[in-house]
Amino acid sequence: MLYNHLKKSVAHKVLDYITPNSIIGIGTGTTVSYFIQELGSIKKLIKGTVSSSISSTICLNNLGIPVFDLNEVGTLSIYIDSADEVNNNLQMIKGGGEALTKEKILASVSKKFICIVDESKQVNVLGQFPLPVEIIPMASSYIISELNKLGGEAKLRKNVITDNGNLIVDVYNLNITDPLNMEQKINSFPGVVTVGIFAQRKADILLVGTKNGIKTIINN
């Protein structure tokens, strides 16, 4: 609630990056829902979207914005999404909204990933936000014990089934000083579908809504 006006301002600013006739990858969450509202105002200028979740698809459908299947379009010129945490290297924790697997697929097939956040999401070291991991249900106790060995405290997210029919484990109190290594390690556990560390495919551009205006950080 506290940061909603900053989310709205950054969701408006990112319209500057949309090129006519493009197909845009769409993330999930409250910041993205503000962006979808903004997109509604320029919907005639774009060809359509590819969505990362059922909830974003519903918002897009309600505004009459076309939603394509990723397999129909292949690659995307741009992907726009938010994050739960982002560090100075534009690596992120994502998945607070459970859509991390499809988000990572869309980020990976996009030429440009623009991350839009309010200033509360910027951190020096990732891990204060519990790290989401999407897992295959039959592997839950094995994976929870492997994740605990990494030094965190892994807990099954209650009453959640992802759009893909899987479970989410949140890992509390991890100090993620080497995000790339941690991403690879957790992804290698059998039964892990995706870990919510976005280090291998980090953002290209970060727009941060602050009390003093929008800050733009470009990945080198």
Catalytic residues: 103
| Cα Rg of the chain (Å, integer) | 17
Position 28 contacts ligand 5RP (CB under 6 A) = yes
Query: How far from 162 is each of 50, 55, 212, CA to CA, in Å?
Result: 18, 11, 37
Q: Out of 22, 30, 108, 200, which residue is the one contacting ligand 5RP (CB under 6 A)? A: 30
Say if strands 205-210 and 110-118 run parallel, antiparallel, or are unpaired. parallel
In the chain the beta strands, taken as DSSP E runs, fall at 23-26, 48-51, 76-81, 85-86, 92-93, 110-118, 131-135, 153-156, 167-172, 192-195, 197-198, 205-210, 213-218
Stretch that binds ligand 5RP, among 23-31, 70-78, 142-150, 175-183 (CB under 6 A): 23-31
34 and 7 in contact (C-beta within 8 Å)? yes
Alpha-carbon gap, residue 44 to 47, rounded angstroms: 8
Measured from the CB atom, is 52 or 149 closer to ligand 5RP? 52
Q: Out of 10, 83, 167, 207, which residue is the one contacting ligand 5RP (CB under 6 A)? A: 83
Position 127 contacts ligand 5RP (CB under 6 A) = no
Position 65 contacts ligand 5RP (CB under 6 A) = no
Stretch that binds ligand 5RP, among 25-33, 39-47, 144-152, 167-175 (CB under 6 A): 25-33
Position 29 contacts ligand 5RP (CB under 6 A) = yes
Question: Tokens for 199?
Answer: 């280090």
Q: Within the chain, what is the greatest distance between any pair of CA atoms? A: 51
Position 179 contacts ligand 5RP (CB under 6 A) = no
Position 94 contacts ligand 5RP (CB under 6 A) = yes
Measured from the CB atom, is 83 or 169 closer to ligand 5RP? 83
Position 81 contacts ligand 5RP (CB under 6 A) = yes
Neighbours of 164 (CB within 10 A): 13
Position 27 contacts ligand 5RP (CB under 6 A) = yes
Question: Tokens for 172?
Answer: 């509390």
Measured from the CB atom, is 21 or 122 closer to ligand 5RP? 122
Position 166 contacts ligand 5RP (CB under 6 A) = no
* Interface residues toward ligand 5RP, by CB under 6 A: 27-31, 81-84, 94-100, 103
